[in-house]
Amino acid sequence: MKNEMPAIRKRLKDAKQVIITTHLSPDGDAIGSSLGLHHFLTQEGIPSQVIVPNAFPKFLQWLKGSDEICVFDEDKERAQQLIEVADVVFCLDYNETKRTGPMQEDLDKSMAYKVLIDHHIGNPTWPDINLSVVGASSTCELVYDFAEAYSNGELTLNQDLAYALYTGLLTDTGNFQFSATTPKVHMQAARLIEAGVQPDLVHNHINNSFDELRLQFFGFCVSERMKILKDRGIAYMALSREDIQQFNIQTGGTEGLVNEPMKIANIDVSILLKEDEGKVKLSFRSKRDIDISVFAREFFQGGGHRNAAGGVSFASLAETEEELVKRLNNFNIS
């Protein structure tokens, strides 16, 4: 990352408007990395504005600065204006602009200097500078690296920055359990704790913040909707819009649900199908070296990481389920 710093430093010094963007339906890593970078730039005396495509879940709204985030689909005129005048755009936790949903057109039009920091599989050619590392635990890990490289190894971590980055490390590693949880990730987490992060506080905000109905919804999904493909080590849950509405589930309310079947010892793959307006969203999880992103890309226009991927289908929920089972039956899980 070091080699790119002089160029970025110069761009940032000359910039009149710096914006930080992330993907649609922002998760802990998307918001954590965006706010982490924002707090770092603020510390460096560089003003910046975070813009996200749509609303993000309540369990992230305690992070400092989250109330100043511009939400594109709620404040379109302002967001468009910011993108239009921006001279530097940071693109965090995505590598295709289509992942920004309603923001895509404005981002594609923008002539700003684009800096990509991401950890998803892909080989984008559109960024001016690409600091991505495929296989890194999280974009937060890479924003930490960026901040360190930018400060020539003399990084001061303020508490707001530390909380933001810790949040993404925690959520994208599934509470430090996925295989990308390297010694380096723990080392960064240690530094963030030294900087004032209370791990239990983050954990409670993120993981222990269900309301009663949401936990009942998880129970319902596991007991009424989970199907297991015997001898294949695969579990999936297909949720209709009614299922979701019945429990009054809001944006981000199904977060983590796909991980529930993974708690079963001989389940190696878990898939969540979620009916949405005119489409079905799919989430995939796998254990060990099973690359589920290949399956997601090949059959469901998706992609992501080896052990966590997403996809979409424009058929009905029942048809998608049928298609999924058919494809799974021909898929070689090693």
Cβ of residue 87: shortest distance to Mn ion, in angstroms?
26
Size of the site for Mn ion (CB under 5 A): 4
Per-residue CA distances from 93 to 2, 137, 164 (Å): 20, 11, 14
Cβ of residue 32: shortest distance to Mn ion, in angstroms?
9
Q: Which two tokens stand for residue 265?
A: 């010892």
> Residue 93 or 268: which CB sits closer to Mn ion?
93
Residue 136 CB contacts under 8 Å (≥ 6 apart), including other chains: 119, 142, 180
Stretch that binds Mn ion, among 9-17, 48-56, 58-66, 134-142 (CB under 5 A): 134-142
Cβ of residue 30: shortest distance to Mn ion, in angstroms?
7
> Residue 141 or 160: which CB sits closer to Mn ion?
141
Q: Are 8 and 150 in contact (CB under 8 A)?
A: yes
Cβ of residue 23: shortest distance to Mn ion, in angstroms?
9
Cβ of residue 15: shortest distance to Mn ion, in angstroms?
25
Which neighbouring-strand residues pair with 229?
Answer: 234
Per-residue CA distances from 46 to 33, 39, 141, 207, 289 (Å): 16, 9, 21, 33, 41
CB atoms within 10 A of CB 52: 26
With CB atoms as reference, the residue minimizing the distance to Mn ion is: 29
CB atoms within 10 A of CB 19: 25
Q: Which two tokens stand for residue 110?
A: 């923008």
> Residue 31 or 238: which CB sits closer to Mn ion?
31
> Residue 56 or 247: which CB sits closer to Mn ion?
56
> Residue 110 or 139: which CB sits closer to Mn ion?
139
> Residue 117 or 249: which CB sits closer to Mn ion?
117
Give the number of residues written for the chain: 334
> Residue 172 or 321: which CB sits closer to Mn ion?
172
- Interface with Mn ion includes 118 (CB under 5 A)? no
- Interface with Mn ion includes 172 (CB under 5 A)? yes
Cβ of residue 69: shortest distance to Mn ion, in angstroms?
17
Residue 124 CB contacts under 8 Å (≥ 6 apart), including other chains: 95, 96, 116, 130, 132
Q: Are 284 and 250 in contact (CB under 8 A)?
A: no
- Interface with Mn ion includes 148 (CB under 5 A)? no
Stretch that binds Mn ion, among 21-29, 191-199, 297-305, 306-314 (CB under 5 A): 21-29
Cβ of residue 201: shortest distance to Mn ion, in angstroms?
21
Strand 113-117 and strand 234-239: pairing?
unpaired
Side chain identity, residue 169:
L
- Interface with Mn ion includes 29 (CB under 5 A)? yes
Whole-angstrom distance, CA of residue 287 vs CA of residue 313? 23
Whole-angstrom distance, CA of residue 134 vs CA of residue 170? 18
Beta strands in 168-264 (DSSP E): 226-229, 234-239
Q: Phi/psi of residue 155, each to 5°? A: -75, 130
- Interface with Mn ion includes 275 (CB under 5 A)? no
Site map (CB under 5 A) of Mn ion, residues 32-71, x = contact: ----------------------------------------
> Residue 205 or 267: which CB sits closer to Mn ion?
205
- Candidates 69, 93, 206, 237; binder of Mn ion (CB under 5 A) is 93
Can you give the binding site for Mn ion, defined by CB under 5 A?
29, 93, 139, 172
